[in-house]
Structure 1
Amino acid sequence: MEIDVRGPRFGAALTTVVLAVALITGSGWLLAVQAAFFAVGAAAGVQNSPYGWVFRTLVRPRIGPAPATEDAAPPRFAQTVGLVFSAVGVIGYLAGPQWLGTAATACALAAAFLNAAFAYCLGCEMYLLLKRVTTA
């Protein structure tokens, strides 16, 4: 399935804001909400995640058709990676140790920021690397 290339970047921008607030406040509960959003994106596809819905229904109609599309599999894998980091962060914040929550949230924030600001998706690159290794 092909998706608008702007959708995952929009989602990454929203994710960056949520993760920054979670990191600043140390809120395990806010991070848990983001983890749930990642879980939906990983299970149903990034286009069906809450941020994907916002992009599809509120943003895309105002900015016009997609200038380019991309395979949905790499962003979906990236959602899984985000889910893992945010789940580890939730465990750290809510059960301890606190530094684990901070470190995992910071890693997820760095990856989301790279995608939002520079259109460089670490999870997507991991997917492509794993695909090359497994098919070689």
Structure 2
Amino acid sequence: MLLDPRGPRFAAGLTAIVFVLILVTGACWLALAQAVIFAITAVDPRKGPYSLVYRALVAPRLRPPTEREPAEPVRFAQTLGGVFALTATVAYAAGGTAVGIVAAAFGLAAAFLNSAFGLCLGCELYLAARRVTGRPMAARVPVD
């Protein structure tokens, strides 16, 4: 499965906003909601709520993508994001505000880098692991 790389970047922008709200409010329910979104998207990046918004409202206003990216690195990145969001959820719920802040801040940093600069840390980690294990994979594929 190949994805329009602008979709995950759009999702990262919304995710960054959610992590800012988590940091400002300390709301464990909001961190849990983001963890659920990460879980849905880790299973199928096309089925995530932010992806549905992107395809319905944003993509029709853009030119077709000139390249696509494989879904596997995005799934891995969403799983890592889910770990940060779930850690923040548990920490805030248990009164471990400092741990919740650190977990949400890491999630915010990763989402911001992807949204603003197109640097998906989780994707890069996935691709690096593939190179180390002798199974390299292209990060992007040109559209025919």
TM range (shorter): over 0.9
Equivalent residue for 1:124? Answer: 123
Equivalent residue for 1:11? Answer: 11
* TM-fit CA distance, 1:95: 1.1
* Residue 20 (str. 1) matches residue 20 (str. 2): yes
Give the counterpart letter for 1:53 in structure 2: L
Describe the SS at the equivalent of 1:51.
Answer: helix
Unmatched runs of 5 consecutive residues or more in structure 1: none
Percent of aligned pairs sharing the same letter? 49
Equivalent residue for 2:142? Answer: none
Equivalent residue for 2:79? Answer: 80
Structure 2 CA distance for aligned equivalents of residues 35 and 56 of structure 1: 21
Give the counterpart letter for 1:73 in structure 2: E
Structure 2 CA distance for aligned equivalents of residues 28 and 71 of structure 1: 32
* TM-fit CA distance, 1:67: 2.4
TM-score by length of 1: 0.95
Query: Which structure 2 residues correspond to residues 71-110 of structure 1 after superposition, within 5 A?
Result: 71-110=70-109
* TM-fit CA distance, 1:114: 0.2
Structure 1 CA distance for aligned equivalents of residues 64 and 101 of structure 2: 39
Structure 1 stretches of at least 4 aligned residues deviating more than 3 Å after TM superposition: none
Describe the SS at the equivalent of 1:96.
Answer: coil
Give the counterpart letter for 2:114 in structure 1: N
* Residue 49 (str. 1) matches residue 34 (str. 2): no
Give the counterpart letter for 2:99 in structure 1: L
Give the counterpart letter for 1:92 in structure 2: A
Give the counterpart letter for 2:13 in structure 1: A
Q: Which moved more, 1:112-121 or 1:61-70?
A: 61-70
Describe the SS at the equivalent of 1:48.
Answer: coil
More helix by share: 1
Structure 1 CA distance for aligned equivalents of residues 47 and 129 of structure 2: 24
State the superposition RMSD in angstroms. 1.1
- Residue by residue, what CA displacement relative to the aligned partner does 1:29-80 show, whole Å, maximum 9, x if unpaired? 111111100000112x222110011111111111131122111111111000
Equivalent residue for 1:112? Answer: 111
Unmatched runs of 5 consecutive residues or more in structure 2: 136-144
Give the counterpart letter for 2:28 in structure 1: G
Give the counterpart letter for 1:25 in structure 2: T
* TM-fit CA distance, 1:132: 1.6
